[in-house]
Copies of this chain bind each other. A is one copy, B any other.
Amino acid sequence: MPNLKDALALAASIAQGETTAVAAVEAALTRIEARDGDVRAWKTIQPEKALAEAAKRDAEAPRSPLHGVPVGVKDVIDTGDLPTGYGSPIHEGKQPAADAACVALLREAGMVVLGKTVSTEFAMRHPGATRNPHNLAHTPGGSSSGSAAVVSDGHVPLAIGTQTSGSIIRPASFCGVIGYKPSWGAVPRGGLKMLAESLDVIGAMANTAADADAFVQAMAGRPIAATMPAASPPRFGIARTKAWASVEHASAAALESAAAACTAAGATVTDVELPPPFAEALDAHDVVMTYEAWRMLAHERTAWWDQLSPALQAVLERGADCSPESYAKALKIRSSCRHGLKTAFADVDVLLTPSATGEAPEGLDFTGAPEFNRIWTFTGTPCVTVPGLTGPLGLPVGIQIIGPLGGDASAIAAADWLRPLLTQ
């Protein structure tokens, strides 16, 4: 039975002739058939296309360490052979002319596109139909709802996510998988339906840090981090940030428990006070996001306003109401925060915070608050959420690791080091 929980192991089995890419796709389809009626994480699958692509990969030598692995592509990213709807009725069923750059690159690395995963509307707040595999009455988080759910539920070992506020880290935390948002700019965005250009990042959902790392490297077409584990225990800094005001018991307890596990395993864990500009980072992120989204979605809001959800209309209207001066001020705050990162990382390798305010909320209407993610999307620093802990409802609670700007290798190595320590 092909291993749909570990992409590098699956590709190694395929390379060794123990299984095939076709068998992996068949196993994925069987799992989806059994489960997706409940989870509702896939937007579009065309099994015959995926099987044909897999057969071609089986007929050739491995192109990369992920050769033959089936993956899910978030439906805000163009695919030349599958419709791409951006989570909106405006674009429902539309067929792009070409693959997005990241999709073409993962295909070049020998991976097989199994299908498109459910996104919230334009990767903002209005939810899709997806449910949390750990408890169908709860949200999977958003906006990369389908991608988190399909990896969590063992449909495919890897899926693409995107993040403008907390759209990779939060759903990964809620669904109990690794979510990796690389440094801003790492993965090319051609063919992504952008939302806020200075914030949007393409990243990965996976079950291991090494898988997430390899996947992002494939989509970037270059090394970003390193699959090697940290040589010695990392130096962790606990940064509670202004988002701490909204923390729930589940996440506060998880952070405490993770810190204790780190210390017990020989790592240093110290409190880190972020420099003063960070106090304004949450507000400034909102200004940048809404201001840029109003401009980026100009076509949709001018031609199709009535087809936008009231939630998105409200976000866009906030962007319209923002003055150029407040946008300029928010960009200055970002510069100061980026400069301040030097101080924050002066004595630690990575920072540790909650990945979300708590467990996945009940119901599907609200995908959860991105408060613990927005600061790091704003600064563009790499983040990895590590699963393993659970909250009082028995749902997953992730721990977020943040690396310095461009320090993806530190974040991935620390996540790989931390992962086995987080069990309850």
A327 adjacent to B222 (CB under 8 Å):
yes
Instruction: Return A100 CB to nearest CB of chain B, in Å.
Output: 8
B residues less than 8 Å from A105 (CB atoms): 295, 298
A232 at the interface (CB under 8 A from B): no
Residues in B neighbouring A108, C-beta threshold 8 A: 298, 302
Interface pick from A159-167, A183-191, A371-379, A387-395: A183-191
Q: Which residues of B contact A91 (CB under 8 A)?
A: 97-98
Q: A208 CB to closest chain B CB, in angstroms?
A: 23
Which stretch, A192-200, A271-279, A348-356, touches the partner chain B? A192-200
Residue numbers in B under 8 Å from A193 (CB-CB): 190
* Per-position 1/0 for A59-92, Cβ under 8 A of B: 0000000000000000000001000000000010
Task: Tell me if A300 counts as interface (CB < 8 A to partner B).
Answer: yes
Determine the distance from Cα of A198 to Cα of B222 in the docked complex, in whole angstroms. Answer: 15
Are B80 and A299 neighbours in the complex by a CB distance under 8 Å?
A: yes
Query: Which chain B residues lie closer than 8 Å to A1 at the CB level?
Result: none
Q: Is the CB of A222 within 8 A of B302?
A: no
Q: Is A221 an interface residue (CB 8 A)?
A: yes
Report which A residues bind B (CB closer than 8 A).
80, 91, 94, 96-101, 103-105, 107-108, 185, 188-191, 193-194, 197-198, 220-223, 291-292, 294-300, 302-303, 324, 327
**Can you list 13 A-B pairs with a CB-CB distance of less than 8 A?**
A91-B98, A101-B296, A103-B299, A188-B295, A189-B194, A189-B197, A190-B194, A190-B296, A191-B299, A221-B294, A221-B298, A222-B291, A223-B324
- Asked if A197 and B185 sit within 8 Å, CB to CB, the answer is yes
- Residues from chain B with a CB closer than 8 A to the CB of A291 are 222
- Which one of B100, B103, B107, B292 lies within 8 Å of A188 (CB-CB)? B292
Q: A160 CA to B101 CA in the complex, in Å?
A: 24
A98 and B107 CA atoms in complex are apart in Å by 26
Contact B99 A299 (CB under 8 A): yes
> Are B97 and A295 in touch, CB under 8 angstroms?
no
- Across the interface, which residues of B come within 8 angstroms of A194, CB to CB? 101, 188-190
Interchain residue pairs A-B with the least CB separation, the first 5: A104-B298, A104-B299, A221-B295, A99-B299, A190-B194
Considering the chains assembled together, what is the distance between the CA atoms of A302 and B291 in angstroms?
Answer: 36
Residues of B within 8 A of A191 (CB): 299
Residue of A99, A104, A297 with highest tally of chain B CB at under 10 A? A104
What separation, in Å, do the CA atoms of A107 and B298 have in the docked complex? 10
Residues of chain B with a CB closer than 8 A to A221's CB: 294-295, 298
Q: How far is the CB of A79 from chain B (nearest CB, A)?
A: 10
Closest to A323 in B: B222
